[in-house]
Structure 1
């Protein structure tokens, strides 16, 4: 009762006793919040404005996130890092799509960014293309020896597959009524002068009949020597020997002795393997480097470490839609008979399209609309340059325009230089990167609030 009476009688004293410490605590907390902006307790933003520098905040992991106030990255929730940029830089044109951008990278930054440089050099535009291949017969060197008349094979002089035959070598002996009849007709035409009068009615008809009978024998494959022997002996034999019209290796023997054959029946499959084809499957992206007549080097699994020299003779006109490859045919001389059809290997195509400017593959940044190379302007300074890129030769790109021989470019680390350039170019141009807007009134939790770190004066205690 006494405490209640004391409070009623001394209300002002009690209020002062509790309110003064609360107000003092509020001021202390507000002062701490203000001092968190800098270690020395004074306003760095004011100094930055006086010194001609602008402050902005960005995410180290996502440099496209830019804000003019502290906060967190909306992508990874990491705290934004404060950066400054001079007004002198801000006053410059910073649209890297319309002009060259320049950035300075010194000392440790070069090492940390793994930036290395290389000179633009003039070199040979030689592109080597490797393709899987297999060997095959040269089509023009393959012959089918077939029967030119109906008959029966009496004897085979070449009776084994794989045997080598020479042109003019006897192959088989055949009996054929067609040959017997043709020989008799020839002898009759030859002896026309001894026939009854009126049969030929002059030497002109006799000559025509003789020429026709001789032509028939030649079409049957009878040689000049055999015809001369017939003229000399006047003896028609029941069988005739057939001689090879071409030389080569017997790939396949189709008949046996005593077998009847018809006109057109294949008796031997013969191939001249002094030259073989290599059929390669080349991807369409590599086709531009291969020309008819260009050099080809063949490596085979059967002969490790050995290569065979040849040349491209034909590029097939149709693309394989499944494998996206085109067949390329090369021709190789088969010295010593080492090459065998259906051997597997690899063909290396070498092309030389002259010379041009070359830079390392890592020096070119493909951004979609344009291609960028960072050129070293002076110690620690890099300038972006738009270039026109040609074909790739090994690990280097041909530069058609935009660079000069002897200039030094960033061969590695160009992407990091480009990221730093975009970061610096995007900060003063409005504080936010295109397509990535930050709500500066959002805190880390995503709720709206004061992101400056100061106490809300309306906050209830």
Structure 2
């Protein structure tokens, strides 16, 4: 055997031995690890009461003992809340430092009105409630017509035509004859007949037909020399003192409108000018082609400047009814249900199912599931919701224990935390400080905004001041209690 061959054989033998030794060591470590971690070998360390067993992937599925879930995953125990009071509300507890890191903002559900306007388009039309029909009260002949045509704008009392009414001439002659007899009863009967024929005095059988209102002539059916039958329509006049603005509102948004809602219209013909009105009617039939409803708005038309056919941009103010509102960012939509994250005293949180309504201006209407004054998480709620899901915590149902909360001043914990910082911004009710760490509550150095209960605390301070300040942690958020310039008294 050559030297090279012997060398290769020795290397192979050494590598095999090394592999065996390494395998044995690894096997021993694995056995040691398994033994150390085996439930049979460990002394029990958690004496808390087990409420149920669950799969974190299916938190709503509860079981009485360990095993596999319906998904085939190993279940874990859900313990009773350690150290909490027996009457504490259900939920997960998150310490103040973690809430701060999450950027969670706590707000209250409050009553108010949605003010976000909806902008649609529409066109000006005649107000057909202001339409006058001119008719012949007696049969006659047209002796003269005035220079009128459909589309003309005329004032009230404008003449349209002169008529000769033979029946009037006969009635007047009969009245004169009866008057000469002195018979009072016959005289009353003759006078009544003249009134029923539409006569207003001695006319000689001739009369001038005039427009009863001012406006635009829509139809004109009288010509010189023609014969008029009793009750025949001579003309139609539409007033222009008010006009209709017919706006097309998407079907999905029409449910938020009410008769009487204020409206502002703008037209390209009058730049920089707006016209105020109110919703007069919501027509009952939807347009199948466009899936819109027609909203009829009545506008004053001083000077007759608004002409039928003009297009307008319409800002429809939404119904000003009192509603329960929360910030839209606080609403969690899962696809199957809608949730908000309730915030209870002591840093406890629990999801609550809600039914929502109209949304506008960054606010969402709550129809059910939440009460006025209840506190919810407006930002950072998705991470808290994930924590609640992993803990197997059920959401409070819509029919749950939502009760109105009394409007009380914020409760103070009495614990004031101090640190140093620099003023970044000031307004009447808050101050933004870039501050050093606060070890007592685990806060790192950061820049944040503090509420100010007493605006007088900020008097004399400006951006850039170095200060020492103290704050508390009530449920509404960090609140400044005292502040002095660094080195001040």
Q: Which TM-score applies when normalising by structure 1? A: 0.59
After TM superposition, the structure 1 = structure 2 runs for residues 74-113 of structure 1, keeping only pairs within 5 Å, are 90-92=79-81, 100-102=90-92, 104=94
Query: SS of the residue aligned with 1:359?
Result: strand
After TM superposition, the structure 1 = structure 2 runs for residues 14-93 of structure 1, keeping only pairs within 5 Å, are 28-29=22-23, 32=26, 45-46=37-38, 52=45, 90-92=79-81
- Which residue of 1 is the match for residue 188 of structure 2? 207
- Which residue of 2 is the match for residue 192 of structure 1? 178
1:306 and 1:30 map into 2 onto residues whose CA distance is 91
- Which residue of 1 is the match for residue 441 of structure 2? none
- Which residue of 2 is the match for residue 336 of structure 1? 303
CA positional deviation for 1:141: 0.9
- Which residue of 1 is the match for residue 482 of structure 2? none
Q: Deviations over 1:136-166 (max 9, x none)?
A: 2222211232444555544322424443333
Q: Is the 8 A contact 2:59 2:392 kept in 1?
A: no
- Which residue of 2 is the match for residue 430 of structure 1? none
- Which residue of 2 is the match for residue 124 of structure 1? 112
2:304 and 2:179 map into 1 onto residues whose CA distance is 56
- Which residue of 2 is the match for residue 432 of structure 1? none
2:25 and 2:221 map into 1 onto residues whose CA distance is 107
Give the counterpart of 1:386 among 344, 352, 359. 352
2:379 and 2:288 map into 1 onto residues whose CA distance is 37
Q: Deviations over 1:318-374 (max 9, x none)?
A: 5556655544333221123232223333241343223x6532112122457864322
- Which residue of 2 is the match for residue 137 of structure 1? 126
1:228 and 1:154 map into 2 onto residues whose CA distance is 18
Which ranges of structure 2 fall in alignment gaps of 5 or more residues? 1-11, 47-53, 61-65, 83-88, 394-489
Q: Is the 8 A contact 1:125 1:393 kept in 2?
A: no
Query: SS of the residue aligned with 2:188?
Result: helix
Q: Is the 8 A contact 1:150 1:263 kept in 2?
A: yes
2:28 and 2:235 map into 1 onto residues whose CA distance is 103
Q: Which TM-score applies when normalising by structure 2? A: 0.57
After TM superposition, the structure 1 = structure 2 runs for residues 356-375 of structure 1, keeping only pairs within 5 Å, are 357-366=324-333, 371-375=338-342
Q: Kindly name which structure, 1 or 2, has the bigger radius of gyration based on alpha carbons.
A: 1
Determine if the alignment matches structure 1 residue 182 to structure 2 residue 168.
yes
Give the counterpart of 2:389 among 407, 422, 429. 422
Change (3 A) 1:320 1:375: same
1:375 and 1:58 map into 2 onto residues whose CA distance is 21
- Which residue of 2 is the match for residue 157 of structure 1? 146
Q: Deviations over 1:253-288 (max 9, x none)?
A: 445545555555543331111111223344565455
Change (3 A) 1:105 1:320: farther
1:418 and 1:122 map into 2 onto residues whose CA distance is 22
1:194 and 1:242 map into 2 onto residues whose CA distance is 31
Q: Deviations over 1:208-261 (max 9, x none)?
A: 234214422x1xxx5x2xx3354xxxxx5xx64322233222234445545555
CA positional deviation for 1:185: 3.2
2:202 and 2:168 map into 1 onto residues whose CA distance is 14
1:393 and 1:328 map into 2 onto residues whose CA distance is 20
1:150 and 1:193 map into 2 onto residues whose CA distance is 25
Q: Is the 8 A contact 1:374 1:382 kept in 2?
A: no
Change (3 A) 1:91 1:27: farther
Which ranges of structure 1 fall in alignment gaps of 5 or more residues? 1-17, 75-79, 94-98, 231-235, 427-461
Query: SS of the residue aligned with 1:422?
Result: helix
2:94 and 2:373 map into 1 onto residues whose CA distance is 23
After TM superposition, the structure 1 = structure 2 runs for residues 281-360 of structure 1, keeping only pairs within 5 Å, are 281-283=248-250, 286-287=253-254, 289-318=256-285, 325-345=292-312, 346-354=314-322, 357-360=324-327
2:168 and 2:250 map into 1 onto residues whose CA distance is 58
Determine if the alignment matches structure 1 residue 167 to structure 2 residue 156.
yes
CA RMSD of aligned residues (A): 5.0
Change (3 A) 1:402 1:164: closer
Q: Is the 8 A contact 2:261 2:316 kept in 1?
A: no
1:157 and 1:348 map into 2 onto residues whose CA distance is 44
CA positional deviation for 1:383: 0.8
Q: Is the 8 A contact 2:122 2:246 kept in 1?
A: yes
Q: Is the 8 A contact 2:217 2:238 kept in 1?
A: yes
Query: SS of the residue aligned with 2:237?
Result: strand
CA positional deviation for 1:170: 1.9
- Which residue of 1 is the match for residue 477 of structure 2? none
